[in-house]
Chain A
Amino acid sequence: MQWAISVDHKKLAMMYIGAGLIFFLVGGIEAAFMRLQLAQAGNEIVDPATFNQLFTMHGTTMVFLVGMPILLGFGNYLIPLMVGARDMAFPRLNAFGFWLFIFGGLLLYFSYVGADGLYGAGTAPDVGWFAYAPLTSRTFSRGNSTDYWILGILVSGFGSMTTAINFIATILCMRCPGMKLMRMPMIAWMMLVVAFLVLVAIPILTAAQSMLLFDRTLGAHFFDPETQGSAILWQHLFWFFGHPEVYILILPAFGFVSEIMPTFSRKVIFGYPLMVAATVGIGFISLGVWAHHMFVVGLGPVLDSFFGATTFLISVPTGIKIFNWLGTMWGGRLQFTTPMLFVTGFVAMFVIGGLTGIMLATVPMDWQLSDSYFVVGHFHYVLFGGTVFGIFGALFYWFPKATGRMLNERLGKWTFWLLFIGFTLTFMPMHVSGALGMPRRIYTYEVDRGWEIWNLISSIGVPVQMAGVAIFLWNVVRSLRKGEVAGDDPWDAWTLEWSTTSPPPDWNFDRIPTCTSARPLWDRKHPEDPDAHYE
């Protein structure tokens, strides 16, 4: 009850992250079933219809109910503490947004019992996470499962939008004295751009979903090609949302890296202004690349080249970030704690994912690889190797702040290595099976295509990852009870959240702090050589 009526940004953030982790387990189990089915050719563990539901629910869950809430949760926790505020700008709106996300997620999962499908029983949505028309029309998608998909995401989307408004207002209006924009922690910048992208992208999805709802319930003709509608229009609208969405999912993780890496390199972040510029640049460019998901539609050479070119362009600011992180580590006294392991892993894996992205942005190559397992490999490298690694790094890094206790380092290293190895086993071979022509979203395949070994390796990676996650959960449970007491500033870090107690009081700071440079705590700890001298 205490928690249900709370409007405290820290409590809400912890609920966001906790709920996100629960959904992470659910989505993970769905994925495990898929990998079990695909481990061998011709398996019959799940039937085709169930398989469709599994990948739809897996994708939808991971994007909307795991990635978004956990990242927004971190934003919620960190923004006020990092910019030196007592709470978010609109605390009640914050609670409202959180509960919308929860109820939206529950509504989506209620489809398992609620959506009367073809067989009369409850069926989960099965149209894929991007729900292409005309598969979603009444003709092909009977029952209510697609409506559940629409409504669940719609409702949780409202939640994300209110949260984004809150982020912007907090970052712009609630900064403590001296916290100029160009002194803000990188996370605040990333979250600002993320909030902007949420405000641009999610309403487009909401609009497209309303249109789809009208098609399905009122008999409107937006997307059904049989009746003058346009299936391509759905793709345009969806990906206009979809590509910014993937940046919504990666930018906060960039933020985690940009905080954790300097701390454990014992150096300032390299090229702060350039980092800010690159973030803003990514924010804008990512609005103009969506049709790289549609090269196989046949948009014509002009549009194809345009969107290929903009997609290449986006790798410039992305590359700048990579080099800045390397520059941050270069010459530092690296301390390979668990969070640091995760963020270095992040950089390495993200580079691979970015490079396969560039391969896919090359139009003729994409014609070969689109809708194959190669694409699945690409986006898991950026989303798992990127976002999820970033999230784990952040969990290990800020857990002491939120709970007052450290997570166990030894177990943490086990988690990292198991996840890293399991991840590589699972997703690296997908590039090969994809290049060999294996389409995504097939529920099984024949024996003699040369895909067996790669699929088997992929499936073997799953239990390894599960072990890593299990150890992590055990670590959390254990550390909450008898972890080493953290103290306020266990990592000797430089941003404001470490200047208050762990866990912080409801009012965050006894005195509103003042900020003298981009590393306010460094200035306090080293009055003889404060950063302010270098600004």
Chain B
Amino acid sequence: MTALNATTSNVPLTAPLSRAKVGMASLIFMESAFFSAFLVTYLYYIGKSPDGPQPLDCLELNMVLINSVCLLSSSITVVLAVRSLARGAMGAFRIWLAVTILLGLEFLLGTGYEWWGLIEDKGLTIQSNAFGTNFYSLVGFHAFHVLVGLVLLIGVFILSLFGCINPARDHQRVDVATWYWHFVDVVWILVFTLVYIVGRVPQGAAA
């Protein structure tokens, strides 16, 4: 036994990777696989629903551009929030976090508003045609993930209001949590490109 304990001391005890980071990275990897299934399906169906409401007629860019700007800029504000937290500036942290949450809320409400318009005015529902099916599924799942991220951020915000967030102790955890928010943003870039740019093409001959 003694000979073996001797070797013990030679080997430094280091934890090379943080398990929170690896865990979050794996989660994001998994979610990417999930979204890629929907993205590929969307791509596959582009131009394949001649009947019913058409993307060119339904999708208007003005609303969704505002939403996109909000969501994308929220990635910046959340970085600012984490930086403030790392500096120990709790006030700035709360403000930036609140801004992030508001931007996220705007995105969700804007999406809801857009959907409402689509359903009421354009008559596009998940049952209309392949376009409707894919549109609501893809955008809906993304919105759901935004919601989850938002709940996460609101949770952090509430904790910080009650003084439960300790910069030195928690800033890494908060940082890892915000990775998820960035991920949701990146997915949006893909969704936006696919749905509002690539997908706004004529759908073959209308019946």
Spell out A's residues near B (CB within 8 Å). 89-90, 161, 164-166, 168-170, 172-174, 177-178, 195, 199-204, 206-208, 210-211, 214, 218-222, 228-230, 233, 237, 511, 514, 516, 523-524, 527
Contact = CB atoms under 8 A, between A and B. Distances in A.
Contacts of A210: 137, 141
B23 A164 contact: no
Contact of A211 (B19, B22, B29, B41): B41
Contacts of A228: 48-49, 51, 129-130
B130 A229 contact: yes
Interface in B118-173: 126-127, 129-130, 132-134, 136-137, 141
Interface residues of B, number: 42
Given A203-B34, A220-B133, A228-B48, A174 B19 contact: yes
Given A90-B23, A228-B49, A165 B30 contact: yes
B4 A173 contact: no
A237 B41 CA distance: 9
B7 A221 contact: no
Contact of B13 (A173, A174, A177, A214): A177
A269 B44 CA distance: 46
Contacts of B41: 207, 211, 222, 233, 237
Interface in B10-41: 11-19, 22-23, 26-27, 29-31, 33-38, 41
Contacts of A177: 8, 11-14
B3 interface: yes
Contacts of B44: 230, 233
B37 A169 contact: no
Nearest to B4: A524
B126 A211 contact: no
Contacts of A211: 41, 137
Contact of B22 (A168, A233, A524, A527): A168
Contacts of B16: 172-173
Contact of B126 (A203, A220, A524): A220
Given A173-B18, A207-B37, A516 B23 contact: no
Given A206-B34, A220-B133, 18 more contacts: A89-B23, A168-B26, A169-B19, A170-B19, A172-B19, A173-B22, A177-B8, A178-B11, A195-B26, A202-B30, A204-B33, A207-B34, A207-B35, A210-B141, A219-B126, A222-B41, A229-B133, A516-B7
Contacts of A199: 26, 29-30, 33
B8 A165 contact: no
B13 to A, nearest CB: 5
Contacts of B36: 204
B31 A173 contact: no
A172 B17 contact: yes
A169 B22 contact: yes
A204 B133 CA distance: 18
